[in-house]
């Protein structure tokens, strides 16, 4: 009976997050049309009732999968209710205030605007952008503080359930190393951002050694702050390009990468895959989570086509038709499978046990 009540509590919890996200979007849309109506011209025609119904069904499906994985012991039930409430109440007003700046950038097509005190010279060209038109791109403390909330609002409260879908294939892939003591298992989260995925991996793998890399020093500070709240946790975070990972060959047993590939030029995607192949041990598993692609749900194409215009995602159009299975195969991975959950897609790839690099 307790499981029934817990499941009802989880469903209510998620419904509350979704309701707030929808209310936020509706209010923001109305204000935007009053304050900056030209932005409305970027919008595509409204989604059909059939598409909206499909979205609701897929949201229900991922929440059911999320619950089932907790029941199966992939991660503790407490993770289902983990939400950065303190950050939410502290930083939500900042999201609302920053909307004015975002709308202005959208209207004037400004997507490479940074504060004078931010040095962008040491970052690759593809990174020197105001992704999502947000202030100072990924290079400010404000951006790091707002990011997780922004993503939850964008996905109607389902961002965390989408992130958690990497945990089951990661744990399954690590079974190849059952003979290795748990504390000697090494897992890397590439482009770890605020550390939210790493926090989930910690809940799923309480003894593994966890590592994270990211290009943004402010996001790494945020990740360090988040992970340091876990008793006994010593975050092993490093500022680094994902296409130039600073680790020796065959070092990690598992690697994850969440919501990165759609923000990369095609050549950089390939280099990152090759780097992950290099640093992962033979028999290791590589799990990618990112946006759905055109081949998965053609009926969602209106949303996918509108996304780069509304949120400045310059590499997204190529991403939705990119063959990542082919890229993974070219790098040397095998036994590649894919999954879809709500608005996300997953690639699970394995390094051959007889690989020499």
pLDDT in tens, the chain (357 residues): 468 889 999 999 999 999 999 999 889 888 877 877 766 555 556 778 888 899 999 999 999 999 999 999 999 999 999 988 888 889 999 999 888 888 888 888 889 999 999 999 999 999 999 998 899 999 999 999 999 999 999 999 999 999 999 999 999 999 999 999 999 999 999 999 999 999 999 999 999 999 999 999 999 999 999 999 999 998 899 999 999 999 999 999 999 999 999 999 999 999 999 999 999 999 999 999 999 999 998 988 888 888 887 888 999 999 999 999 999 999 999 999 999 999 999 999 999 999 887
For residue 44, the model assigns a pLDDT of 53
- Non-local (6+) Cβ contacts of 129 within 8 A are 111, 112, 137, 312, 314
| CA gap 63, 66 in Å, rounded | 5
Q: What is the pLDDT of residue 310?
A: 80
Residue 142: per-residue pLDDT: 93
Token couple for 258: 């969440």
Packing angle, helices 141-154 and 217-227, rounded to 10: 70
> Which pLDDT score is estimated for 1?
44
CA–CA gap between residue 328 and residue 323 (Å, rounded): 9
Name the nearest CA neighbour of 190 among 282, 82, 289. 289
- Token reading at 175: 């079974």
List, by residue range, all CATH 3.40.50.150 domains of the chain.
Answer: 164-350
Q: Which residues contact 104 (CB under 8 A, 6 or more apart)?
A: 36, 110
Cα dist. 178→69, 95, 184, 284 in Å?
A: 20, 45, 11, 12
pTM score, whole prediction: 0.95
- Rounded Cα distance, 94 and 90, in Å: 8
The pLDDT value recorded for residue 303 is 84
CATH 1.10.645.10 fits 164-350, yes or no: no
Distance CA 140, CA 250 (A): 34
Whole-number Å distance between alpha carbons of 260 and 242: 10
């Amino acid at each position: 009976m307790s499981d029934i009540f817990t499941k009802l509590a989880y469903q209510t919890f998620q419904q509350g997050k979704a309701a707030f996200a929808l209310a936020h979007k509706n209010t923001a849309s109305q204000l935007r049309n009053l304050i900056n109506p030209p932005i409305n011209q970027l919008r595509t025609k409204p989604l059909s009732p059939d598409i909206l119904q499909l979205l609701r069904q897929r949201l229900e499906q991922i929440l059911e999968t999320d619950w089932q994985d907790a029941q199966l012991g992939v991660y503790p039930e407490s993770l289902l209710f983990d939400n950065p409430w303190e950050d939410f109440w502290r930083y939500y007003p900042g999201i609302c205030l920053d909307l004015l700046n975002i709308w202005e950038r959208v209207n004037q097509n400004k997507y490479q605007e940074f504060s004078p005190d931010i040095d962008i010279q040491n970052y690759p060209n593809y990174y020197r952008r105001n992704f999502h038109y947000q202030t100072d791109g990924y290079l400010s403390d404000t951006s790091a503080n707002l990011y997780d909330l922004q993503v939850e609002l964008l996905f109607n409260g389902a961002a965390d359930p989408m992130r958690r879908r990497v945990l089951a294939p990661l744990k399954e892939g690590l079974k190849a190393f059952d003979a290795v003591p748990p504390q000697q298992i090494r897992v890397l989260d590439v482009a770890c951002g605020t550390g939210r995925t790493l926090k989930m991996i910690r809940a799923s793998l309480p003894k593994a050694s966890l590592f994270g890399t990211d290009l943004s020093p402010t996001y790494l500070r945020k990740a360090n702050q988040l992970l340091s709240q876990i008793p006994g946790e010593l975050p092993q975070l490093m500022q680094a390009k994902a296409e130039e990972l600073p680790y020796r060959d065959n070092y990690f047993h598992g690697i994850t990468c969440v919501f990165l590939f759609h923000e990369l030029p095609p050549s950089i995607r390939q280099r990152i895959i090759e780097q992950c192949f290099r640093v992962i041990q033979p028999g290791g598993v590589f799990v990618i989570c990112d946006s759905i692609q055109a081949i998965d749900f053609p009926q969602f194409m209106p949303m996918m086509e509108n996304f780069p215009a509304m949120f400045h995602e310059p590499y997204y159009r190529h991403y939705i038709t990119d063959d990542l299975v082919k890229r993974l195969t070219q790098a040397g991975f095998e036994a590649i499978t894919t999954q879809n959950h709500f608005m996300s897609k997953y690639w699970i790839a394995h390094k051959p046990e007889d690989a020499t690099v």
